[in-house]
Structure 1
């Protein structure tokens, strides 16, 4: 079942960020744009490349008013240990949520029950706490954070310009469409 257009379900989890442990709930996702990036496990192979790539886009995302949350079913303690031992993860400044109870992963429908791990799922959440975009990849397929930046710009544009939509490959400043009866069959 799609989560598009649905509000985030309640949860409470411990997280690691910038040398501290913090508590996170669904309320943290409201009042700003958020990206929630699920990944299978700490101390693995594809995951650190993705999280480092996301960190490389973090300043750009912050400029767009977006906060980033990574989530795995590891604990916040494991996130801290990984942060201290991996050159790639040591760069991460955004929030790393621990989900050993699997509540957050179940809420976002990315939990692989038999493994106790999360799929590679990326969620763009608007300031109302509503999911606007979802991408889920198989475990061996890493994501590209630069394409995430473009999706967020499109989501923000559509939110700020009711009645307009962004076509395929839309880039900021590019032409948009205004759906209407006159446009049917003309594209």
Structure 2
């Protein structure tokens, strides 16, 4: 069963954010758009390129009212150590959530049990706490923050414009579609 349109499950965790350890829970996801961005582990190879890419585009997500949460099965202490030693991770301004028990990875169905690591999973959550976008793939393939930004813009557009949908490669300002019998077979 897909997690699309389901409400995130309750959880409590600790994150490293702006030089502090902070509590994070499912309550933090209500009332705003959020992204939960799972990655396998700190101090690895593809992961810092993805987190750095998100950091480079973080201001654009903030303008949309979106909070990003990076999550791995490392502890919040490991997140701090990585932040302190990596120039790329030092740019990260969003919380890095520790999930050493794998609770979040299991809740979002991205846990690789035999490895104790998460798959690369991206989840966009609306202000009601419902999952609207899911992207999960093999750990050898990095993600693109610009494409994620475009998908968030489309999700926000559809949420605020009932009866309209966004076609492939849609970007803000482009035409949308209003599904109807008149469009069938004409696209």
TM-score range, shorter chain: over 0.9
**2:134 counterpart residue number:** 134
Whole-Å Cα distance in 2 between the matches of residues 54 and 5 of structure 1? 24
**1:39 counterpart residue number:** 39
TM-score, length basis structure 1: 0.99
Whole-Å Cα distance in 2 between the matches of residues 33 and 75 of structure 1? 25
Q: CA deviation at 1:54?
A: 0.4
Query: Is 2:145 the partner of 1:145?
Result: yes
1:7-50 per-residue CA deviation (whole Å, 9 max, x = no partner) reads 00010001100100001001111100001100000000000000
Q: CA deviation at 1:186?
A: 1.2
Q: CA deviation at 1:181?
A: 1.4
**1:97 counterpart residue number:** 97
Q: How does 1:51-90 map to 2 (within 5 A)?
A: 51-90=51-90
Paired residue total? 187
TM-score, length basis structure 2: 0.99
Whole-Å Cα distance in 1 between the matches of residues 57 and 123 of structure 2? 16
Q: CA deviation at 1:94?
A: 0.2
1:140-164 per-residue CA deviation (whole Å, 9 max, x = no partner) reads 1000000011001000000000000
Q: Secondary structure at the match of 2:42?
A: coil
Q: Secondary structure at the match of 2:87?
A: coil
Whole-Å Cα distance in 2 between the matches of residues 65 and 148 of structure 1? 14
Q: CA deviation at 1:59?
A: 0.3
**1:159 counterpart residue number:** 159
Whole-Å Cα distance in 2 between the matches of residues 144 and 183 of structure 1? 32
**2:109 counterpart residue number:** 109
**Aligned residues: CA RMSD:** 0.5
**1:121 counterpart residue number:** 121
Whole-Å Cα distance in 2 between the matches of residues 172 and 111 of structure 1? 34
Whole-Å Cα distance in 2 between the matches of residues 177 and 81 of structure 1? 48
Whole-Å Cα distance in 1 between the matches of residues 146 and 27 of structure 2? 26
Q: CA deviation at 1:182?
A: 1.5
